[in-house]
Structure 1
Amino acid sequence: MPKLSLWRSVIHLEPAEWDILIVSTCLKLLLFPAYRSTDFEVHRNWLSITHSLPISKWYYDTTSEWTLDYPPFFAYFEKLMSIPAYFIDPRIVDLNNLNYAAWSVVAYQRTTVILTELVLGAAVLRFIRGATDPTTQRIISASLFLHPGFLIIDHIHFQYNGFMFGILLWSILMARNDNKLASGFLFAVLLNFKHIYMYLAPAYFIYLLRSFCLSPSGALLPARFIALANAVILVFLVSLGPFLLMGQLPQLLSRLFPFTRGLNHAYWAPNAWALVTAADRVLLKCKSALGSLAVNSSGVASTSRGLVGDTVFAVIPNVKPIHTFIITIAFQAIYLVKLWRTPTYKSFLTALTLCGYTSFMFGWHVHEKAILLVLVPLSLLAAENHAYFRTFLLASVAGIFSLFPLLFTAPETLIKVIYSVTWAIFIFIPLHRRVYEFPRSLPFVIIDGLEKLYLAGFILLQAFVTFFPVATRQSSASLEFLPLMLTSVYCSVGLVWAFLRLSVLYLRG
Structure 2
Amino acid sequence: MAATAMNRESWFPSLALGVSLLKALFINSYHSTDFEVHRNWLAITHSLPVSRWYHENTSEWTLDYPPLFAWFEFGLSHVARHFDSKMLAVDNLNYASPATVLFQRLSVIFTDMLFIYAARECCRCVRDRKGTRDIFNRPSFVLAVLLLWNFGLLIVDHIHFQYNGFLFGFLLLSVAKHLRSQHLQGALLFSILLNLKHIYLYVAPAYGVFLLRSFCFTQDNLDGSIKWTSFSPFRLLALGSIVAAVCSLSFGPFIAMGQLPQVLSRLFPFKRGLCHAYWAPNVWALYNVLDKSLTTVGVRLKFLNETTLPQASMTGGLVQEFQHSVLPSVTPSVTVICTLLSILPALASIWWRPRGADGFLRCLLVCALASFTFGWHVHEKAILIAILPLSLLAVESREDAGIFLLLSTTGHYSLFPLLFTPAELPIKCALMLMFTIFSFAALRKLHSGRVSLLHTLEVVYLSGLVVVAVACEFVFPLSPWQQKLPFLPLLATSVYAALGVCYSFLRLYVTLLRQDSGKSKQL
Give the TM-score taking structure 2 as reference length: 0.90
Give how far 1:23 is off.
2.1
Partner of residue 506, structure 1: 512
1:302 paired with 2:313, answer yes
1:41 paired with 2:36, answer yes
Give how far 1:290 is off.
6.0
Work out the number of aligned pairs and report it. Answer: 495
1:495 paired with 2:501, answer yes
Partner of residue 457, structure 1: 464
Specify the SS of the correspondent of 1:427: helix
Give how far 1:241 is off.
0.8
Q: Distance in 1 between matches of 2:27 and 2:255?
A: 39
Give how far 1:345 is off.
0.5
1:317 paired with 2:320, answer no
The structure 2 residue matched to 1:112, chosen from 107, 115, 118, is 107
Please give the per-residue CA displacement for 1:261-301, whole angstroms capped at 9, x wherever unaligned.
11111111100111111111222232267664687943464
Aligned-CA RMSD value: 2.2
Q: Write out aligned runs for 1:142-153 (5 A).
A: 142-153=145-156
Partner of residue 20, structure 1: 15
Partner of residue 189, structure 2: 186
Q: Write out aligned runs for 1:102-501 (5 A).
A: 102-133=97-128, 135-216=138-219, 217-219=227-229, 220-287=231-298, 292=303, 297-299=308-310, 301-302=312-313, 305-343=316-354, 344-435=356-447, 448-473=455-480, 477-501=483-507
Q: Would the aligned equivalents of 2:188 and 2:242 in 1 still touch at CA under 8 Å? A: yes
Partner of residue 74, structure 2: 79
**CA 318–59 in structure 1, closer or farther in 2 if over 3 Å, else same:** same
Please give the per-residue CA displacement for 1:213-234, whole angstroms capped at 9, x wherever unaligned.
1232233202111111111111
Q: Distance in 1 between matches of 2:25 and 2:143?
A: 25
The one-letter code sitting in structure 1 at the alignment partner of 2:268 is F
Q: Distance in 1 between matches of 2:105 and 2:314?
A: 35
The one-letter code sitting in structure 2 at the alignment partner of 1:504 is V
Q: Distance in 1 between matches of 2:395 and 2:126?
A: 12
The one-letter code sitting in structure 1 at the alignment partner of 2:483 is A
**CA 471–89 in structure 1, closer or farther in 2 if over 3 Å, else same:** closer
Q: Would the aligned equivalents of 2:30 and 2:421 in 1 still touch at CA under 8 Å? A: yes
What 5-or-longer segments of structure 2 have no aligned partner?
130-137, 220-226, 516-523
Q: Distance in 2 between matches of 1:468 and 1:410?
A: 14
Q: Distance in 2 between matches of 1:139 and 1:328?
A: 33
Give how far 1:427 is off.
2.4
Q: Distance in 2 between matches of 1:365 and 1:92?
A: 30
What 5-or-longer segments of structure 1 have no aligned partner?
none
Q: Distance in 2 between matches of 1:64 and 1:291?
A: 45
Partner of residue 69, structure 1: 64
Q: Would the aligned equivalents of 2:125 and 2:176 in 1 still touch at CA under 8 Å? A: no
Q: Would the aligned equivalents of 2:116 and 2:169 in 1 still touch at CA under 8 Å? A: yes
Specify the SS of the correspondent of 1:88: coil
Specify the SS of the correspondent of 1:60: coil
Specify the SS of the correspondent of 1:213: coil
Give how far 1:334 is off.
0.9
Q: Distance in 1 between matches of 2:310 and 2:362?
A: 38
Q: Distance in 1 between matches of 2:100 and 2:9?
A: 34
Q: Distance in 2 between matches of 1:294 and 1:448?
A: 45
Q: Distance in 2 between matches of 1:397 and 1:128?
A: 22
Please give the per-residue CA displacement for 1:372-398, whole angstroms capped at 9, x wherever unaligned.
111112111113322211111110000
Q: Would the aligned equivalents of 1:277 and 1:303 in 2 still touch at CA under 8 Å? A: no
Q: Distance in 2 between matches of 1:151 and 1:410?
A: 18
Q: Distance in 1 between matches of 2:100 and 2:53?
A: 21
The one-letter code sitting in structure 1 at the alignment partner of 2:102 is A
Q: Distance in 2 between matches of 1:280 and 1:432?
A: 40
Percent identical:
44
Give how far 1:364 is off.
0.8
Q: Would the aligned equivalents of 1:34 and 1:156 in 2 still touch at CA under 8 Å? A: yes
Q: Would the aligned equivalents of 1:266 and 1:306 in 2 still touch at CA under 8 Å? A: no
Give how far 1:253 is off.
0.7
Partner of residue 56, structure 1: 51
The one-letter code sitting in structure 2 at the alignment partner of 1:485 is L
Q: Distance in 2 between matches of 1:296 and 1:188?
A: 51
